[in-house]
Amino acid sequence: MSMALSGRPADLRSAIDRFLQERLDGKLKLLADDDPKRAALCAQFDFTTWIDDAASRVGQIQAVTHALKATHPYARGTSLYRPPASLPAHSLVGSHCLNDDFTGDVVGNAAALDVYKFLRIDQAGDSLLELMRAGDADLLAALSEDTAQAQAWMRAFTSITAPRGKLSSHTQAKQIYWLVGEDSRDDAGYHLLAPVYASSLVHEVFQTINEDRFGETAKAARQARREGSFSEEGVHEYPHLAVQKLGGTKPQNVSQLNSERGGNNYLLASLPPLWVARGVTPPLRTDTVFKRFGRRDGVKAVIRELRAFLESNPPPTMIARDFRDALVLDVIEELFQLELQLRSLPPGWSASRECDLPAAERFWLDARRGDTDRTFASQLLAIDWPKDLCDRFAAWLNSQLSEKLTMGDPEHDYWYSLLKDQFEARRRGGAYD
């Protein structure tokens, strides 16, 4: 560090130095130790050199909260930066509902996104951009001993939130004629609205839904529900959730946050819930309950999502594996919901001549028959029906996914192990006492 700094200015300078060093190290790893390009690369990441270059490139990108390109990646109109506090408050959900620590987005040249990552460096809860917008004196000192130079850099960086050119829409942007007059036949009685995508709000919704679906707290709550045990946390469900992909194979062309989401944007079902009251009937005249199970709306929806995810050839990362497992556990949760429904029937229904279910499914779904049927009770204790049931479930799931995918023994064994673990957890929780 060239400047003799102490206290908060030193902390800010150290945070910037760490950012630059991490980026430099990542690039040096790609070069051999004797590569002559290493010296030039190190010079490029000299503090003053890099900051001055970043300040010259910041004009290639724009910080926004509402992005136009989400409507169409080739739209060339105006995107907006409107912090929540600057928006009028009203009773409907909108960007004004976000907190002061909202996540801003950025649009423009993807090659200059490192500048925005620099401005997002967090120091004690504040980003560098927020500190620059506030004219922070300590950050000014951390940037340069030359106050005029530091002020010029800060002016350049804070321009990232300013509109680019005149406010304009585009032929590939959405436009809506909104009636403000009394006569719909009067062309002069309309305002032409150009809605832009509330990117910061969409990102907050996406993160919230993902946490509710795949977060550790959500997993624990669902596990408790499967085991029939108490949980202080509730389970959040989003029925008929859809995913809209923006940007195709290049989501970064839409915006930075869209790229971080892999182009995925959730769409909530815009319809009231439909309640269908159906009496629970025993699964008679069928050789497996999995035929009925596969027709359940919740099961079909999750299987579709799981199949689409696996067919997309996801990367072999922990995030992808957790996502896959969460979907399979959702299928298993539906299986236990079916179990609860059929176990609510009067015991003994599986003794009917019309019941063609295999023994494992009878023992599983009509266990209370053993209270009055001694032969059934002795068989129930003697046979490892969960093992057979797990095997049947794994084979069924493989068949559901095998239209475009190769499903073999490794997949079968993995689905088998997931359900086996859930059965054992439920047994420990007393579900089968």
pLDDT digits (tens, 9 = 90+) for 46-81: 999 999 999 999 989 888 999 988 888 888 888 888
Q: What is the CA radius of gyration of the chain?
A: 29
Which has more confidence, 428 or 310?
Answer: 310
**Per-position DSSP letters for 384-427, written without gaps between them:** -HHHHHHHHHHHHHHHHHTTTS---HHHHHHHHHHHHHHHHHHH
Q: What pLDDT score does 241 carry?
A: 86
Distance, CA of 175 to CA of 195 (rounded, Å): 7
Strand partners, 176: 193
Under 8 Å CB-to-CB from 207, ≥6 apart: which residues? none
234, with CB counted inside 10 A (0-12, 13-18, 19+), is exposed
Q: Once rounded to an integer, what is the mean pLDDT over residues 16-30?
A: 92
Task: Identify whether the C-beta of residue 333 lies closer than 8 Å to the C-beta of residue 226.
Answer: yes
- Condensed to tens digits (0 to 9), the pLDDT of residues 106-126 reads 888 878 888 989 998 988 888
Confidence tier at 239 by pLDDT (50, 70, 90): confident
Q: Give the CA count within 13 Å in the CB-facing half-sphere of 154.
A: 23
Question: Averaged over 139-149, what is the pLDDT?
Answer: 92
pLDDT of residue 118: 92
Residue (of 125, 259, 277, 241) closest to 199 by Cα position? 259
Residue 265 φ/ψ, nearest 5 degrees: -135, 125
The H or E element spanning position 318 is helix 318-343
Exposure of 234 in the CB half-sphere (CA atoms within 13 A): 2
Token duo for residue 286: 């069928």
pLDDT score of 34 more than 60: yes
Q: What is the pLDDT of residue 433?
A: 65
pLDDT bracket for residue 278 (50, 70, 90) = low
Report the length, in residues, of the chain: 433
Instruction: Report the chain's terminal Cα–Cα distance, integer Å.
Output: 68
Q: What's residue 162's pLDDT?
A: 83
Beta strands at 242-245 and 105-108: parallel, antiparallel or unpaired: unpaired
Q: Is pLDDT of 32 > 70?
A: yes
| pLDDT for residue 3 is more than 60 | no
Task: Give me 308's structure tokens.
Answer: 């689409």
DSSP 103: P
Looking at residue 2, its pLDDT comes to 47
> What pLDDT, on the 0 to 100 scale, is given for residue 1?
42
Average pLDDT, the chain: 89
Q: Has residue 276 got a pLDDT over 70?
A: no
User: Is the pLDDT reported for residue 420 higher than 90?
Assistant: yes
Residue 428, both tokens = 């420990």
- The DSSP annotation for 197-210 comes to B-HHHHHHHHHHHH
CA distances from 426 to 299, 336, 381 (A): 20, 10, 17
pLDDT band at residue 247 under the 50/70/90 scheme: confident
Tally of helices (H runs) and strands (E runs) in the chain: 17, 8
Q: What is the pLDDT of residues 317-365, one digit of tens each?
A: 888 899 999 999 999 999 999 999 999 899 999 999 999 999 999 999 9
CA distance 316 to 307: 16
Position 427 scores a pLDDT of 80
